[in-house]
Amino acid sequence: MAIFAKPRTEGNRPALQHVLLQIVRLVEQASLTPLIEAGTRDAVDLRGFDGHPLSVLVQKADLAIVLAATERCSASRASCPPTQFR
**What's residue 31's pLDDT?**
95
What's the predicted TM-score (pTM) here?
Answer: 0.72
Report the C-alpha gap between 1 and 33 in whole angstroms: 6
Do 67 and 79 meet the contact criterion of CB atoms below 8 Å apart? no
The answer, yes or no, to whether residue 32 has pLDDT greater than 90, is: yes
Tell me the pLDDT tens digit for each residue of 42-72: 888 888 899 999 999 999 999 999 887 655 5
Average per-residue pLDDT in the chain? 80
